[in-house]
Amino acid sequence: MKAILKNGLIHPKEAVPSNWVEGTELEVEKSSTPSANGAPDDLDNWYAELESSCAQMDAEDSRILRAAVFEVKRQEKERARKEAGL
């Protein structure tokens, strides 16, 4: 069974077999093959680079990004209301 480590927790990539009951002890090993998104070190490097880029963002770019995020959230709320019949 394959899983991903995220925020200190192990998340299965597929459904847990139905014959596994709560409390079943598992043995976990780090995979020797890179994931589809690259090896964990690549992901860490990518995230560090992303944080560095965001820290260098100027005020206007930051304003544009916040406005875009706000608009996406507004559209999703509107879509959810329509789907709920409100």
pLDDT tens per residue, range 56-74 = 888 898 899 889 999 999 9
Nearest CA among 27, 30, 32, 22 for reference residue 5 = 30
Domain range summary for the chain, segments of one domain joined by +: 1-55, 58-86
CA dist 50 and 22 (Å) reads 38
- With left for phi above 0 and alpha for psi between -120 and 50, is residue 22 left, alpha or beta? beta
Check if the beta carbon of residue 10 is closer than 8 Å to that of residue 4. Answer: yes
CA dist 4 and 23 (Å) reads 20
* Phi/psi at 3 (5° precision): -150, 165
The predicted-structure confidence for 34-52, as pLDDT tens digits, reads as follows 655 555 567 777 888 888 8
Q: Does the model's pTM come out above 0.85? A: no
